[in-house]
Amino acid sequence: MSITVKDVAKKAGVATSTVSRVINDHPSISEETKKKVRKVMDELGYTPNLAARNLGKQISSAIGVVLPPLDSKERIGNPFHLETIETINDEARNYGMSVAIASARDFDTLLENVQRMHRQKQVDGFILTYSDKDDPIIRYLLEEAVPFTLIGQPYIAEEKTIYVDNDNQLLGKQATEYLIEEGHEQILFASNITHENLYYERFFGYQKALMMANLPVHSAATFESPDDYVRFEETLTNTKATAIVVLDDLFAVRIMQLVNLYGYRVPEDISIISFNNSIFATLIHPYLTSIDIDVPSLGKIATQRLMDQLNNKQQRSIRVVVPHRLIKRESVMKRNVQN
């Protein structure tokens, strides 16, 4: 026999109307009651008939997760995206929502996908997992008044946008300060991304730390073409760099391979620090010193803020800052030990 709302209500000790309101995430029901009823639903294996429930409401009970253009192997293989999707999916399940993914190799195709999902009412709102200055998606969502939250700091309409982020400028500053504390003076910043706010904020933090320490600030070593990888050897030679701040763990692995190719050892010759504290940080040797940005909290809070909008609990802009922590491993060595 199939489980009904009455069965759930009986076991939870509440009225059937209460169960219905929990299914619809009604604000009149306390969080304690919602958790109790959802636990019983899980125990009994009860699944709401969302199609029937939504038919009259013109809603889909789905969240659209928009990934940045997956135009490189680094983008496709970046564990940040998978971990973010997993966290959003887990949190959406608490609201009886499913998750649909929008991805493409370029912004034009990505915009078409998002427009189709919106116009065909496949999703009720979106979570953007990136912030890019050339992004047409956020403009479309603003123009169409589509509910969305952003993981990252927006380039436009900051006063109209609900977003969840780390303090990326502080991240870049603290990563660089840690290298300075370890005795490094010639420090580079390396990135394979140049359009996302993530790059600008972390690079600004790098610059600030060096200026405050009266140390030389170098132009960012950006890698967007094969020639950039070739020229990096000359950059290392000219700057006599002993440490590098790298945009994320996945690209840090590439940088480690590159400096090894040029005859440098990590960390004996060049120390490396990166961000995200992903699985890649402990898949290679030496293990990467990395700053943990708490990806689970980013995805969870972004989902909660989107659900607030869908349930008319939140209509104004807001910024939520997720804390971070430094994870010290093997890829950074004190400069005085080297000498």
What confidence score (pLDDT) does residue 298 get?
Answer: 96
pLDDT of residue 207: 98
pLDDT for the residue numbered 315: 62
Whether this prediction's pTM lies above 0.85 is answered by no
Please report the pLDDT score of residue 337 as a whole number.
46
Measured over the CA atoms of residue 157, residue 163, residue 165 and residue 170, the dihedral's sign is positive
Report whether the peptide linkage leading into residue 267 is cis, meaning its omega lies within 30 degrees of zero. yes
Tracing tokens 């489980």 back to the chain, one arrives at 3
Q: What is the spatial distance between Cα 243 and Cα 332, in angstroms, rounded to a whole number?
A: 8
57's CB contacts (< 8 A; 6+ apart) are: none
* Strand residues in 219-308 grouped as ranges (E): 221-222, 243-246, 271-275, 289-292
Q: List the chain residues with pLDDT less than 50.
A: 51-52, 55-58, 337-339
Q: Round to whole Å and give the CA distance between 286 and 279.
A: 14
Give me the pLDDT at residue 60, please: 59
Sign of CA dihedral 303, 306, 311, 312: positive
Instruction: Return the number of other C-beta atoms located less than 10 Å from residue 316's C-beta.
Output: 7
Give the pLDDT score at 339: 44
Sequence-distant (6+) residues with CB within 8 A of 4 are 46
Q: 69 preceded by cis ω (within 30°)?
A: no
pLDDT (0 to 100) of residue 71: 84
User: Greatest CA separation found in the chain?
Assistant: 75
pLDDT at res. 2: 72
User: What is the rounded distance in angstroms from the CA atom of residue 110 to the CA atom of residue 129?
Assistant: 13
